[in-house]
Structure 1
Amino acid sequence: MTSPKRMPIIETQDVDGIELRTARWTSASNSRQATLLFFNGIGANLELTLGLGDMFPDRDIITFDVPGVGLSPVTSWPYRPWMLARWARKLLDSHDIEEVDVMGVSWGGAMAQQFAFQYRRRVGKLVLCATTAGMTMIPGHPKSLSKMVDTRRYSDPEFMRKSFESLYGEAVDGEAGSHIDNLLPPDPKGYIYQLLAFVGWSSLPFIRFLTMPTLVLMGDRDTIVPVANGHILRVALPDAELKVIEGGGHLFLVTRAEETADLIREFLIRSESEPKAAA
């Protein structure tokens, strides 16, 4: 996702009393494809998503910094996934966006599932990258998980470069280096609130209601979310297919952006004629 050519409009909006820093890409084409709503990973600021505009040039796209992440102010209280999904829906309403395709990566993949459950009449397709069904997940490698809670991965670029392979399962290259350079440290309280939001959450109680076509993408070298979690999602979701990025780590969306984008675009276009899921 280096040197993006198509940049979003970035602004801070009041959404249901919460200040959210948002990014929105508007397609220059007359494409009738649904807007893509993107949920980012834990602690990840929207600068890390700037390549989305080039990955999906014919689509409107919208995303935001979760409270306490990037430049969105932290909330005064912890929140639950259903609350974050509601804020996302309010954000869409403010832009008169009705139907969306939803995509989420890692922690954001859980939020994507929550949104798709709460507002499934508005969701056409679902794309889940390097994510799980929640607390029932197959855990990653202890060495990687220990680095996940080390806030130096956001504030110390050199620590991140040294830890990248053991943390994410891939060596640092040009794309990964750009990712590191765009990191903004989250508010410590905001990061804790993201962790707390995931505690006790699982999509398995409602996952059979997610009947929209779903693409599950996993990296076979992911040391944080092992590929077995993708198989669980594929079996549990009513209409899902699983694609495994060979040699891909946890951040294959960044390090293998072209390959990943091809798979997602092919899925979204192929699924255009399929009926939208009913509630």
Structure 2
Amino acid sequence: MNRPPDRAGESRMVRTGGQHLRVHIRHGTGVPLVLCNGIGTSLEVLDPLVAHLGARRTVIRFDAPGTGASPTSPVPYGIPYLAWVTGRMLDTLGYGRVDMLGYSWGGALAQQFAFQNPRRCRRLVLAATATGALMVPARPAVLAKMLTPRRFVDRDYLASIAATIYGGSADFGNATVTQLVSHQLAAGSRRGYLHQLLAGAVWSSLFALPAIRQPTLIVAGTDDPIIPIINAHIMYRLMPNATLVTHPGGHVDLLTNAATLGPIIEDFLRRAPSA
């Protein structure tokens, strides 16, 4: 599907696989890049990254069930199911082969999609993510603050904990982090957030990583309290065709430092050999 580049893009609701998903497409050329977002956040949070990807690249992003404008799933779901739904969504939209980028919780979905669709997923980018339930965990004080979506509905609370849970640029840029999620107020649902927590809690890619053979870029911050940097090294060791890029930032630097990290991702997508 080739169209002239469209910087504004279009939004639509897609009904597939028992779910209603809000999807945004920035039309361009070449192999589309599908973005899988972090837990509890709507697709707008990825705006800074999209702005620093190639202007002519087709970018597809969506709200997971129960986040943003996507209705909550009637029942809990697993990561493999959501990867299947993502494939059905792409079928409905008329897209075939794609590149996948998974950020934080979305990294689980991207890994699972690549595993389930070895021919359809051409290249893979994993940012600030890990292997799920079987990973080196964050400190208990950090994990406790991740158990509820309060930071998405209470700006003052987010500002007070941003440095603790996000690290990196959040240590000196709480206002920037707060602005990134300001539109999250009243978006999504607590049940949707719980479904995402449960899906991640019972999933792991640890033993599947050697079977994910697509060229993969792993982007990780050395000051990420949520995903300790050792997890990136574990993934790098286990994935046959992985490249590891580290930076001195934290969990949200993919967004707050997109001017630096976006071009690195774009360069990888352009030059990596096809799987």
- Fold in common (TM above 0.5): yes
CA contact (8 A) 2:70 2:188 kept: no
CA contact (8 A) 2:39 2:106 kept: yes
- Shift, 1:241, TM fit: 1.1
CA contact (8 A) 2:49 2:254 kept: no
Q: 2: distance between equivalents of 1:175 and 1:260?
A: 17
The letter for the 2-side match of 1:275 is S
Q: 2: distance between equivalents of 1:52 and 1:263?
A: 11
CA contact (8 A) 2:223 2:250 kept: yes
CA shift digits 1:221-266 (9 cap, x unpaired): 10000100000000010110111111x1101111111111121112
- Shift, 1:64, TM fit: 0.9
SS in 2 for 1:51: helix
Of 174-183 and 17-26, the range deviating more from structure 2: 174-183
The letter for the 2-side match of 1:156 is D
Q: 2:114 maps to what in 1?
A: 116
Please list, as runs of the form range in 1=range in 2, the aligned pairs for 1:236-247 lying within 5 A after superposition.
236-246=238-248
CA contact (8 A) 2:222 2:250 kept: yes
- Shift, 1:23, TM fit: 0.9
1:58 aligns with 2:60: no
Q: 1:44 maps to what in 2?
A: 41
Q: 2: distance between equivalents of 1:6 and 1:275?
A: 26
1:73 aligns with 2:71: yes
CA contact (8 A) 2:133 2:200 kept: yes
The letter for the 2-side match of 1:229 is N
CA contact (8 A) 2:48 2:256 kept: no
Of 203-212 and 48-57, the range deviating more from structure 2: 48-57
CA contact (8 A) 1:161 1:180 kept: no
CA contact (8 A) 2:158 2:178 kept: no
Length, aligned pairs only: 265
1:92 aligns with 2:94: no
What is the aligned-residue RMSD (CA, Å)? 1.6
CA contact (8 A) 2:123 2:214 kept: yes
Q: 2: distance between equivalents of 1:204 and 1:166?
A: 27
CA contact (8 A) 1:6 1:53 kept: no
SS in 2 for 1:182: helix
- Shift, 1:47, TM fit: 1.6
State TM-score, norm by structure 1.
0.90
- Shift, 1:151, TM fit: 2.6
Amino-acid identity (%): 36
CA separation of 1:155 and 1:173: change in aligned 2, threshold 3 A: closer
Q: 1:263 maps to what in 2?
A: 264
Which residue of 235, 238, 241 corresponds with 2:237?
A: 235
Which residue of 109, 126, 129 corresponds with 2:127?
A: 129
Q: 2: distance between equivalents of 1:78 and 1:95?
A: 25
Q: 1: distance between equivalents of 2:58 and 2:49?
A: 10
Q: 2: distance between equivalents of 1:187 and 1:140?
A: 24
- Shift, 1:8, TM fit: 2.9
Q: 2:3 maps to what in 1?
A: none
- Shift, 1:87, TM fit: 1.0
CA contact (8 A) 1:104 1:129 kept: yes
Please list, as runs of the form range in 1=range in 2, the aligned pairs for 1:110-189 lying within 5 A after superposition.
110-169=108-167, 170-171=170-171, 172=173, 175-184=176-185, 185-189=187-191
State TM-score, norm by structure 2.
0.92
